[in-house]
Amino acid sequence: MSDCSIVAVCLATLSCAACAGSGEGLDENGRPVGAGPGPLVPEFQSIQDNVFTPLCAICHSGAAAPLGLRLDAAAAYAMLVNAPSVEVPALLRVAPGDPDGSYLIHKLEGRAAVGARMPLDAPPLADATIQVIRQWIIDGAQAPAANGATSDPPVTLMAVWPTQDAVLMAPPNELVVAASGELNTTRLDSSSVRLERSGGDREFGEGDAVVVARVGVVVRSLDPTVIAVQVPTEEWRAGDYRLVVSGTGPAPVDGRNGLPIDGDADDVPGGDFELRFGLERGQ
C-alpha cells in the first residue's frame, strides 16, 4: 500500500494500513460517531475532536505513527498545515486557502493520484463533513484559538517528529518542532538551531559530537510557530542525534513577548530545547 494511505477522515498525506478497512468510528452514512464535545464546525479544534482524534489517532500517534504522521491532538496541526505530502511531495497536506490543492481533500474525495479513497474499505465521509474541512482550509486553516490564559508565559517547544528518544530505522524526511505560541522567527538560524551526531560514545557535551552542517529551517506557521528542520539525505549516518534550539546565550530564540523560550520546560525563561533520537540505518 503506497505511503500508508491515510486514515479515514483525515489525511492528506498518507494512509493507515493498520486501521483502515473496518469502518469503525463511522456510521452508515460515513459520519463520525461518538463525536467530541460539540457539533462539527470549520474550526481546527472541532475537526480534531470530531474527526482526527476518534478516527485517525488510533494509529497515527506516538513514535510508531505510520510514516511519521501524527494526528493526536498535540501534533496534528503541525503535521498537516503547510507540510508536504509524503505520497505526492509536490502537494501540501493542507494548503491554507486552497482546498483543491490540499492532499487531504484529494484523499477524502477519492481523487488522489496515489492510493485509494479514504477511509479504505469503509463508507466515505459524508459530503457535509468534507465540506466542513474544506471550509476550514478556505478560511486559512487557522490554528486552534488560544486558551484564554491571561498571563504571558515564555514559549515552550514540543517534539512533533520524531518523538523524544525515538529510534528510527530510516532517515526522517524532516524534524518537526511546534511551539506553544509565536516565536521571533528572525532568531531561527544556524546559530540557534543545530543538529548534532554523537561521536560514537552515545553521549553529548564531551566535545566529540559532530555538527551536521547542511541543515535548513523552514517556518510552517507563525502562531503557533511550527518549524521543520530539513537535512539532505546524504548527511545522515547511523548514530545518536540531538536537535538543539537555543534558549540561552547571547542571542536566544525568544517569543514575540520578548522572553527567551522555556527550552527545558521549568516554567522559567531560558534553557535549551533538546530533541534526542537515534538512527539505526543511515545513508
* Structure confidence by residue, pLDDT tens digits, 96-132: 999 999 998 998 899 988 877 776 666 787 899 899 9
Q: Which of 264, 280, 282 is nearest to 272 (CA)?
A: 264
Instruction: Clarify whether residues 250 and 189 are in a common domain.
Output: yes
3-state DSSP call for residue 79?
helix
Instruction: Clarify whether residues 225 and 123 are in a common domain.
Output: no
Domain boundary among 114, 146, 178: 146
147, burial (CB in 10 Å: exposed 0-12, middle 13-18, buried 19+)? exposed
Q: List helix spans (H) across 48-125.
A: 76-80, 103-109
- The phi, psi pair for 276, rounded to 5°, reads -110, 140
Domain boundary among 93, 122, 146: 146
CA distance to 13, 116, 152, 243, per residue, from 4 (Å): 9, 10, 40, 27
What pLDDT shows up at residue 5?
41
**Which H or E element spans position 244?**
strand 239-245
Domain count of the fold of the chain: 2
What pLDDT shows up at residue 11?
39
Instruction: Clarify whether residues 167 and 34 are in a common domain.
Output: no
Residue 128 lies in a domain: yes
Residue 151 lies in a domain: no
What pLDDT shows up at residue 30?
55
* Chain position carrying cell 500508508: 4
Residues of the chain with pLDDT under 50: 1-21, 28-29, 35-36, 150, 282-283
What pLDDT shows up at residue 55?
78
Residue 253 lies in a domain: yes
Q: Decide if 211 contacts 196 (C-beta within 8 A).
A: yes
What pLDDT shows up at residue 16?
38
CATH number of the domain within which 167 lies? 2.60.40.1220
Straight-line distance from the first to the last Cα atom of the chain, in angstroms, rounded to the nearest whole number? 24
Question: Which are the contacts of 37, defined by CB distance < 8 A and separation ≥ 6?
Answer: 49
- Domain limits at 213? 157-279
Dihedral (C-alpha) 37, 42, 45, 47: value to the nearest 10 degrees?
A: 70
